[in-house]
Amino acid sequence: MNITTIAPGSFTQSESRFRYSCYRFSTPDVCIIRSLSMPKTDSLQGSLDLLVLKILSRRPRLHGYAIMTAIKDWSGDVLNAEEGSLYPALHRMEEAGWIRAQWVTKTTGRRARIYELTAAGRKQLETVESRWEAVTSAVNRVLRTV
């Protein structure tokens, strides 16, 4: 079963493929949606934006493969961002104005698209990092008390 946390009100009750429960924490309220579909093998579901923004805040001007490698290396080979997840996420974040992309020609003559964080991306990073800390703290409290 996949568990994804989202803000209340960002889904509709009429979607029959989801079961959900809402819990009130100090801030914000958290709804947990349990998908009834098959589990996904991508262990980054829901956290990919946070990881990409954090990596680009530490190492600007990386290309997609370097971002995938950083996620894998910095997580001690626990997390793996697949191309089919990463590149659509990069495109979506570029459309949102959180990152900017630029084509460059490498010394080998190959072209690469490099990414860097924008001011809006830094602000979004603060927001999602704060939300991540609140959710993981809440989950840890549950794990310690159950």
pLDDT of the residue at 23? 45
pLDDT of the residue at 17? 41
Run of H or E residues at 94:
helix 83-95
What is the reported pTM?
0.68
* pLDDT averaged per 10 residues, the chain (length 146): 46 42 46 42 69 96 96 93 94 97 93 96 96 93 89
- Spatial strand order of the sheet with 99-105 comes to 62-63, 111-117, 99-105
Cα of 106 vs its chain's centroid, Å = 28
Output Rg (C-alpha) for the chain, integer angstroms.
Answer: 17
3-state secondary structure at position 27 = coil
One-letter amino acid for residue 55 of the chain: I
**Within 10 Å of residue 99's Cβ, how many Cβ atoms?**
23
